[in-house]
Structure 1
């Protein structure tokens, strides 16, 4: 069965019950969930398959298996996070900002969000990259993308790790020999970054290949597009822009703003790729952190579990605003307490005022060490 070609509501309509509690599961997850195609990538689907194999048709048994997978992934993050911190000469205890955070326990192990599996491959990839084993790093990064798509945003930011393009320009005024050496080093770096991107993208394609069909491409694109065209939750600047838009148009602002915010994210990523120094691993991870947070700051939807990624990245930097965010994100839970579901924007406002206040404090405090754009 190809999971990308079937809808939960189809089973309900046809009276087919793949598991004993199909009707309860469908009702509990909601009609919107049942009427859209899955957007979980292949390795995430593999985790679901493992749960089905070990738990047969029991939802309770599947929950146990999925929780065990997430706990094992968190142990892997703890292991490779510790090793990477050691290599970066950073305090090993930093990894506990992630591992012992109640938010992680509640949202990941408790609510079965698979960010830990994605982050396990991502941290392992960064560790291998620091060991100069970039081929393995590329494969592991692809595995991370194949659990959740969000690490695709990071691809441009690896450029300076391989290519010192500033060295090329600085050698233009030097001797012929120095210029040649600079060009040789730059060319070697360009070959590596092309290889890194090629291996990463090829591995992703290989993992998706068993499910490929024209219908799959259309279904998957539509499901991913929902996050930009339809969903609104716990947004930051988007809600401000939406209110401004209402004053002029009065309706469907997401149709316009939802198309603009990805473009802004791409432009920001380009800026910090080429105009910020990302040569060391700490500088690179800091760029990953701010690149991702810029996307979340402008996104139409920011679910609580999204914060696992900025939280674990912050462990390797001087910034702790993601820790504060994992505390104030609890204000967003208020929406789920209402029947029907409804957000109170005062709670959203309090969340982001506290977050941005602490972020500005940290930027001012650390400006002598780091600059977002150098």
Structure 2
């Protein structure tokens, strides 16, 4: 690295360090313009660092870890969910089942079952405290670890939770690099995730556990690429047991198993993703198809069975009812930063005169299921890159039609895009800052014009990429 180039990297790193420090310790969520200023400048530094070809993997990894450590002693300033995390963990430590009780019930009765109960309840807010927890069992284990190490200090619990998330991101760097190498893709691609200011702020800064979910998912995909599909199934079950979202991915594994994925991935994946043809007699084809179908069904059985086992310690007759009621809120009551749903809602108001969120939520859920089944059956998902591309579009279709799209949800599309030719999730991670404008209003209110601008940019870039990639394929 030349002296001039080294100085530029040092300057970019120093500017980013200062901006992250200001973000972590001095920013209020309601200060939208200051928030946007820091966000845009951090993305500028991130882009310039990604364009420095002289930086080694070790250099970039060290910088990304340094940026995360800046947040180590900060209290999250863009989300209050961590108060519920700490509440759940301490409830388990005290012998309570977190899926069976509401925080507000204890507070209303004047019963404080854990340390800092009143402060945690007021921190999480009445909305969160009036609903049953929806965090799966391995996520609850993370909360319990924080309680074990710090059952009397909210600040101490925050540090433990943040360390778990940082360790998960280091694991993503490790297995992401290995998977990229096996797919003959540039290992630097992983830093579109690891160095992304959105990821650093929303996950490490605001303590969202998408990073732990992604860690198990990427590790599972790496093992799948190695044909260790039993271990892959267990790891994907771990991912589901952190956040339920990977359940959407299960149908998409069909072609990878049944139509040649195991055989196709027996060698390193070429970058151009050309289909690998295996010549077989008709009888051998039938035998092979039957064998791979058995593997697929076992893969599903192990994944779902392992997920069920994680829930077993918490199981009671009320668990399913309470958990279902909590999860259903995301489809029938909550609204935030939606795209097509807001259009459907406007049409409902126009023709019916009221909000049709329950009906629209059911329709969009059905549309998502149909879309995923369609690309599972009719889109080529034989190679691992094709499979990951299908995972990316299946998940994004769900988000494009969902009633609620919180910023931290984008972490999964971002990391999946690392292994594909698509980068629209990176652009989305920049413009999603517009969704925070609603918090600058009292009471909270979204500016739908800013939401429209956000999705206009995202869809425009997505269409541009689809056309560009299609043209590239035609010219090869």
TM-score by length of structure 1 reads 0.94
Per-residue CA deviation, residues 187-225 of structure 1 (Å, 9 max, x unaligned), is: 011010011000001000100011111211100000000
Offset of residue 228 of structure 1: 0.3
Q: What pairs up with 1:131-146 in 2 under 5 angstroms?
A: 131-146=226-241
Asked if the contact 2:260/2:382 (under 8 Å) is kept, the reply is no
Return the alpha-carbon distance in structure 2 between the equivalents of residues 348 and 57 of structure 1: 40
Asked if the contact 1:18/1:57 (under 8 Å) is kept, the reply is no
Corresponding position of 2:250 = 155
1:9 is the counterpart of 2:112: no
Offset of residue 252 of structure 1: 2.6
1:80 is the counterpart of 2:166: no
Asked if the contact 1:77/1:123 (under 8 Å) is kept, the reply is yes
Offset of residue 260 of structure 1: 0.4
Match of 2:160 among 38, 47, 65: 65
Match of 2:469 among 346, 359, 366: 366
Return the alpha-carbon distance in structure 2 between the equivalents of residues 189 and 351 of structure 1: 43
Corresponding position of 1:127 = 222
- Aligned to 1:342, the other structure's residue is in SS state coil
Return the alpha-carbon distance in structure 1 between the equivalents of residues 472 and 159 of structure 2: 45
Offset of residue 160 of structure 1: 0.7
Corresponding position of 2:310 = 207
- Aligned to 2:99, the other structure's residue is in SS state helix
1:271 is the counterpart of 2:374: yes
Return the alpha-carbon distance in structure 2 between the equivalents of residues 331 and 365 of structure 1: 27
Per-residue CA deviation, residues 128-173 of structure 1 (Å, 9 max, x unaligned), is: 000000000000000000000000000000001110189xxxxxxx
Asked if the contact 2:372/2:394 (under 8 Å) is kept, the reply is yes
Return the alpha-carbon distance in structure 2 between the equivalents of residues 97 and 34 of structure 1: 35
CA distance 1:288–1:22, shift in 2 (3 Å)? same
Q: What pairs up with 1:213-228 in 2 under 5 angstroms?
A: 213-228=316-331
Corresponding position of 1:170 = none
- Unaligned segments of structure 1, at least 5 residues: 167-174
CA distance 1:220–1:139, shift in 2 (3 Å)? same
Per-residue CA deviation, residues 324-368 of structure 1 (Å, 9 max, x unaligned), is: 000000000001111111100011001000010000000000114
RMSD: 1.5
Q: What pairs up with 1:310-329 in 2 under 5 angstroms?
A: 310-329=413-432
- Aligned to 1:367, the other structure's residue is in SS state helix
Offset of residue 25 of structure 1: 2.3
Asked if the contact 2:213/2:239 (under 8 Å) is kept, the reply is yes
Return the alpha-carbon distance in structure 2 between the equivalents of residues 341 and 16 of structure 1: 31
CA distance 1:125–1:338, shift in 2 (3 Å)? same
1:198 is the counterpart of 2:291: no
TM-score by length of structure 2 reads 0.74
Q: What pairs up with 1:292-371 in 2 under 5 angstroms?
A: 292-368=395-471
Return the alpha-carbon distance in structure 1 between the equivalents of residues 115 and 227 of structure 2: 50
Asked if the contact 1:234/1:303 (under 8 Å) is kept, the reply is yes
Q: What pairs up with 1:31-110 in 2 under 5 angstroms?
A: 31-110=126-205
Return the alpha-carbon distance in structure 2 between the equivalents of residues 370 and 162 of structure 1: 25
- Unaligned segments of structure 2, at least 5 residues: 1-95, 262-278
Structure 1 segments, 4+ long, off by >6 Å, are: none
